[in-house]
Structure 1
Amino acid sequence: MKRNDFLKKGLLGIGTLVAVPTVVHACSKDSNPKGDVAIIEDCELSPSETAGPFTIKTPADLMRANIVSDRTGVAMLITLKVLDQSNDCKPLSSAFVDVWHCDAEGYYSEYGGIALQPTDFTNAHFLRGRQTTDANGNASFISIFPGWYRGRAPHIHLEVLDKSEKSIRTTQIAFPKSVCDTVYASTYYKGEADTLNTRDNVFSNSIDGNMADSVSGNNTDGYTLLKTIVV
């Protein structure tokens, strides 16, 4: 399914979310457009990062492309391409991809009542989902732009698993500060993040590998995030 058709169908009826990103080539980590597919020159493995502390508890039960649930925020389409380093960096098909991130206020579903997150969302399952990569190694999720919480730069968690659900690579995606600042000045978000990528304890030594290949769009039409993951 084409990206724009995917968003149109997925966002239909989600009242506070906005429509389809029409710009797909702006704002990469070096401010140069890369297009729809990132070019992996050295085919380096994506950085291995922690999955916690808010991992998906039952990912097999969350096989879905639209992970928004009842959350509000700026629309975002997450498009991931998974490449297999052991196979000449060719696209990896039929792999599971799990994605999870916090909402606009910095809260995670499936957790709560703890020091890290006193607000209780243990019975909710928003902003979590699983997809299977297609023949081109692609998997897409309809979501909202993640918020932030104290001590971490804005990020998305993801895990790639093989057909038997054995974990292949767990990593995280970082965002350009300029895009975050624009989104966080809008309704639903709580202002500028308190932690820069360079001061984040996860990204400080791996920011180039973690940074999204491109994040393009605007607060009205929504954003498209593109990221290539090498496993």
Structure 2
Amino acid sequence: MKRKKFLKSGALSLGAIVALPTAIFSCSNEDENNLDSANCEVSPSETLGPFPIQSPAQLAQANIIGNRTGIPLLINLIINDQSNNCNPVEGVLVDIWHCDREGNYSQYGGNQLQSTDYRSQNFLRGRQTTDSNGHVSFISIFPGWYPGRAPHVHVEVLSETGISLLVTQIAFPVSDYTTIYQTAGYNGPPDRSNAQDGIFSDSLDHNMADSLTGNTTDGYTLLKTISIQ
């Protein structure tokens, strides 16, 4: 799908969300090459649970918002192969999932981990296939947080046949999520900072988003290079 068409079609289905980040992979080739070179170590392998994506093949979608509302977030990911000079990887599957602004996940609930029951919904989950530049993009909202974890997005990279190549997580700069969590609908400051988060404790520098640009009025754009082996 053409980038402009992708952005336009996503914006039309945002519902109550009135703004959307305006650039999908707008960085220059030189900037992108610099990003790739700076992120050529294999990305940290992190836990899949406790709310992994179910039936991802049925969620092949770029707009993953569903019926959720929040600060718009455009997620741009670059997948490269550390064992092949960090060249981009075409044709691999990329699954992402994260909680809503209240800290709840779709496909789960009604238990001690999450009291609100969203087992019949699929919001904030999706799958895309990388293009020739190793790119995928998802239209989403900025995630909230839940007790015991700093804000994060889950990512799994799989082969064309569905073999898992890497499960990782993306962290956000504290200054940005602090500003976002002061807006209506979010739950205020998380009970764990990035530095206190047990998942990020030994790998935070490599989990951190390469860039997060924007504001609470127009939305944010995240860029992250993920290196597999």
**Aligned-residue offset at 1:3:** 5.5
Evaluate the alpha carbon distance shift between residue 191 and residue 136 of structure 1 in structure 2; reply closer, same or farther with a 3 A threshold.
same
SS at match of 1:197: coil
Name the residue aligned to 2:10. Answer: 10
Distance in 2 (alpha carbons) for counterparts of 1:128 and 1:13: 16
Q: 2:81 aligns with which of 84, 90, 113?
A: 84
**Aligned-residue offset at 1:151:** 0.6
SS at match of 2:46: coil
AA partner of residue 67 (structure 1): I
Distance in 1 (alpha carbons) for counterparts of 2:219 and 2:7: 10
Please give the residue correspondences for 1:53-202 in structure 2 after superposition, counting only pairs within 5 Å: 53-202=50-199
Q: Could you tell me whether the CA contact under 8 Å between 2:39 and 2:225 is conserved in 1? A: no
> What is the identity percentage for the equivalent residue pairs of Structure 1 and Structure 2?
56
Distance in 2 (alpha carbons) for counterparts of 1:151 and 1:42: 28
Distance in 1 (alpha carbons) for counterparts of 2:67 and 2:76: 21
Structure-1-length-normalised TM-score: 0.91
AA partner of residue 11 (structure 1): A
Q: Deviations over 1:55-79 (max 9, x none)?
A: 0110011000000000010101000
Out of 15-24 and 84-93, give the one that drifted further.
15-24
Evaluate the alpha carbon distance shift between residue 96 and residue 13 of structure 1 in structure 2; reply closer, same or farther with a 3 A threshold.
closer
AA partner of residue 6 (structure 1): F
Structure 1: tracts of 5 or more residues without a match: 26-33
**Aligned-residue offset at 1:17:** 1.2
**Aligned-residue offset at 1:128:** 0.2
Q: Could you tell me whether the CA contact under 8 Å between 1:18 and 1:74 is conserved in 2? A: no
**Aligned-residue offset at 1:44:** 0.6
Evaluate the alpha carbon distance shift between residue 129 and residue 209 of structure 1 in structure 2; reply closer, same or farther with a 3 A threshold.
same
Q: Could you tell me whether the CA contact under 8 Å between 2:62 and 2:128 is conserved in 1? A: yes
**Aligned-residue offset at 1:94:** 0.2
**Aligned-residue offset at 1:85:** 1.3
Q: Deviations over 1:114-162 (max 9, x none)?
A: 1110110000000000000000000000000000001100000000001
Q: Could you tell me whether the CA contact under 8 Å between 1:22 and 1:217 is conserved in 2? A: no
Name the residue aligned to 1:28. Answer: none
Distance in 2 (alpha carbons) for counterparts of 1:161 and 1:227: 17
Q: Deviations over 1:25-67 (max 9, x none)?
A: 9xxxxxxxx9556243462100000010000110011000000
CA RMSD of aligned residues (A): 1.9
Distance in 2 (alpha carbons) for counterparts of 1:97 and 1:217: 24
**Aligned-residue offset at 1:5:** 5.2
Name the residue aligned to 1:47. Answer: 44
Q: Could you tell me whether the CA contact under 8 Å between 1:21 and 1:218 is conserved in 2? A: no
Out of 95-104 and 189-198, give the one that drifted further.
189-198
Out of 186-195 and 197-206, give the one that drifted further.
186-195
Structure-2-length-normalised TM-score: 0.92
Q: Could you tell me whether the CA contact under 8 Å between 1:8 and 1:19 is conserved in 2? A: no
Evaluate the alpha carbon distance shift between residue 181 and residue 62 of structure 1 in structure 2; reply closer, same or farther with a 3 A threshold.
same
Q: Deviations over 1:160-199 (max 9, x none)?
A: 0011110000000000011001111111111111111111
